[in-house]
Amino acid sequence: MNLQQEKWWVDAQNDENAVILDVRTPEEFERGIIPNAINIDIYKGQGFIYMIEELDKSKTYYVYCHAGSRSAKACEVMQQLGFEKTFNLVGGISEWNGPIVEPN
C-alpha cells in the first residue's frame, strides 16, 4: 500500500512491529537514511529475494527508495512472498521532509 510521507512516518513510529526497509543501493544508503532503516538492495535480484525471505513475516515493513518506484516493486515482491503488511513511501527519500541520519 502506498502512503504519503506523514502517515508513513507516524505509522512507523507508532508501530512496535515496524521495520524501516531501504531498498536502494549500498552507495545510496551511505549518503543518508531514514532513522533505523535496514538496507536490502532490490537490484540484487535473486539475492534480494533470499534476504527478504530471512525477514520476519509478522512484522510491518515501511519501505522506501529514492523516488518510490523500486520500493513499490519491493512491496509487490514481498506480498508475493507472504508478507501481509508492507507500506511504500510515496515519493521516496528524494521528497522526504523528515529526519535523515548517517548509517551506523
Model confidence pLDDT, tens digit, residues 24-78: 999 999 999 999 999 999 999 999 999 999 999 999 999 999 999 999 999 999 9
In this prediction, residues 8-33 reach a mean pLDDT of 98
**pLDDT at 96 exceeding the cut of 90:** yes
Q: Residue 9 and residue 53: Cα distance in Å, rounded?
A: 24
Catalytic positions are 65
104: pLDDT strictly greater than 90 = no
pLDDT for 103 equals 94
- Please give the average per-residue pLDDT across 74-94, as a whole number: 98
Q: Grid coordinates representing 26? A: 549500498
Which pLDDT value is given to residue 60?
A: 98
Sign of CA dihedral 95, 18, 36, 28: negative
pTM for the full model? 0.97
State the Cα–Cα distance between residues 33 and 53, nearest whole angstrom.
Answer: 23
Alpha carbon distance 4, 47 (integer Å) = 29
Residues 6+ apart with CB under 8 A from 37: 20, 21, 22, 29, 64, 103
Report the CATH fold assignment for 2-95.
Oxidized Rhodanese; domain 1 (3.40.250)
Sole residue written with cell 509487490: 76
